[in-house]
Structure 1
């Protein structure tokens, strides 16, 4: 009785089909390249494995038994399924599969969003069937999700202090110190450090960024994690604060904000982060490559 299908069984079944399609043992010799006695021996092995006769052979000629007819139909279905499997497996060998969850810092510039879009477009031109999810969050939240395997990749301004994460530079973002039209320094051409010392600043909670800010002085009664909140504080006219240049530009163009002299500027490096301890999937490797290429001309 055939309880398991082995490679030898497949070989015997192929011989069986060839014999049937050739019209008998004698006619199958040329197709199989073996003698009639060997064919007879192999057919006997198959019948022993199955537990019943497949064909009648003798002076009356070659013909299939009723069970042999059913085995022929089932065998052809089996070989067709094998060919389908081989085709699909071959297709998968060169195909990127799976899911990618990618985190993005909030309030990215239009140029950065465009470059991320180009990376997605380049990735979609690959042989792939990958589900991609993009989500926005603050840098600390992105790092937390990377560490907890909720993300495969993240783009943001990170501390770089998480030893479990790998960081690759992508681009720099310029930060400038701004005041609103209502602020006393708005019309002062070159305010001094002493002038700034008396101003109320918007405090950013990410100390790894604040440490790079050229203006460290002044008291603070305003605190915000999000760029939008910092912008609102600055627009009030009661506070000075740092903003990404692209966020402030529309308000500058309307005359509602002014950037203080460039000595107070600094840059933030945005990086592509991933978990150092987890081998990246083929899809993650390919998407990382496309992202790095998209930002290579920044």
Structure 2
């Protein structure tokens, strides 16, 4: 039975919530940065402090006990209250204080960068003394940082499947199919859909798109997660692939890249994401308002 609540107890409760949201001890390793034996040991410590079992593991997978379900609700409420207290204490008075941490996808369109700059300019016009931190990273890394509550917001394309996140649409990025000089399709005046289907296409894990998007050829001997890697494959002259239009524009002007079929374009939705358990303080709310205004 817990008596007074101390910092170690809070760390254990945060880990407990992380384990549940990740779906088990093994899945929580990547989110928490801890090994499975360490997670098991710390969960055992928490159960010993409480005096009852929180979860069970077996053939039926990871499951919470009834008391574990009740503790989960209480722990989430407690952590939200602690975060609200921290934010409110930092924002005493009319002046915005503290730190706001925002993650952004890499290789932003210059027009998007200007809108982000506009949002920052709006924010700096407020009565504030806030340290803004901007972090560029791939979408998977941004999701991990949000799960660990090391970011207040992230702007990128996401699967939308994280139950712990709130998502708010901001803008859409246009993707187009390209080939490069040296590819058999580059110099053709008329390109058929059958020729595109036979081309070797770079596969990119667009997990967030609806069925049928984007176009997929019959074969692929190249896989890449990052835009720079996709571009490198295409520039080899041996593969076709999708790129954001703004990334390809300079190469097109140089006559190095060619757009293949604009009817196969598709849009990638970019959203403003945050962790639901991380109650936004005054500074976070103000920056979110300025971002909405900049992208309206």
Same fold (TM over 0.5): yes
- Bigger Rg over Cα: 1
Alignment check: 8 A CA contact 1:212 1:266 kept: no
Q: Distance in 1 between matches of 2:179 and 2:109?
A: 21
- Aligned residue number for residue 114 of structure 2: 114
- Aligned residue number for residue 95 of structure 1: 95
Q: Distance in 1 between matches of 2:233 and 2:262?
A: 21
Deviation (angstroms), 1:213: 2.9
Alignment check: 8 A CA contact 1:214 1:264 kept: yes
Segments of structure 1 that go 5 or more residues without pairing to the other structure are 1-88
- Corresponding residue pairs, total: 207
Deviation (angstroms), 1:210: 8.4
Q: Which moved more, 1:191-200 or 1:165-174?
A: 191-200
Q: Distance in 1 between matches of 2:155 and 2:284?
A: 14
Alignment check: 8 A CA contact 1:95 1:128 kept: yes
After superposition, residues 205-224 of structure 1 pair within 5 angstroms as: 205-209=205-209, 211=211, 213-224=213-224
Specify the SS of the correspondent of 1:288. helix
Specify the SS of the correspondent of 1:106. coil
- Aligned residue number for residue 38 of structure 1: none
Deviation (angstroms), 1:190: 3.6
Q: Distance in 2 between matches of 1:228 and 1:239?
A: 14
- Aligned residue number for residue 247 of structure 1: 247
Q: Distance in 1 between matches of 2:92 and 2:282?
A: 12
Specify the SS of the correspondent of 1:207. coil
CA RMSD of aligned residues (A): 1.7
Q: Distance in 2 between matches of 1:212 and 1:267?
A: 13
Post-superposition CA distance 1:247-272 (Å, at most 9, x none)? 00000001110011211110111111
Deviation (angstroms), 1:174: 0.5
Segments of structure 2 that go 5 or more residues without pairing to the other structure are 1-88
Alignment check: 8 A CA contact 2:201 2:222 kept: yes
User: Residues 181 and 219 (structure 1 numbering): CA distance in 2 closer, same or farther, change over 3 Å?
Assistant: same
When normalised by structure 1's length, the TM-score is: 0.67
- Aligned residue number for residue 181 of structure 1: 181
Alignment check: 8 A CA contact 1:179 1:235 kept: yes
Alignment check: 8 A CA contact 2:152 2:278 kept: no
After superposition, residues 9-48 of structure 1 pair within 5 angstroms as: none
- Aligned residue number for residue 132 of structure 1: 132
User: Residues 233 and 209 (structure 1 numbering): CA distance in 2 closer, same or farther, change over 3 Å?
Assistant: farther
When normalised by structure 2's length, the TM-score is: 0.67
Q: Distance in 1 between matches of 2:225 and 2:289?
A: 31
After superposition, residues 1-298 of structure 1 pair within 5 angstroms as: 92-209=92-209, 211=211, 213-296=213-296
Q: Distance in 1 between matches of 2:239 and 2:137?
A: 25
User: Residues 255 and 124 (structure 1 numbering): CA distance in 2 closer, same or farther, change over 3 Å?
Assistant: same
Alignment check: 8 A CA contact 1:156 1:271 kept: yes
Alignment check: 8 A CA contact 1:190 1:261 kept: no
Post-superposition CA distance 1:48-79 (Å, at most 9, x none)? xxxxxxxxxxxxxxxxxxxxxxxxxxxxxxxx
Alignment check: 8 A CA contact 1:179 1:185 kept: yes
Alignment check: 8 A CA contact 2:149 2:278 kept: no
Alignment check: 8 A CA contact 1:106 1:137 kept: yes
Q: Distance in 1 between matches of 2:238 and 2:288?
A: 43
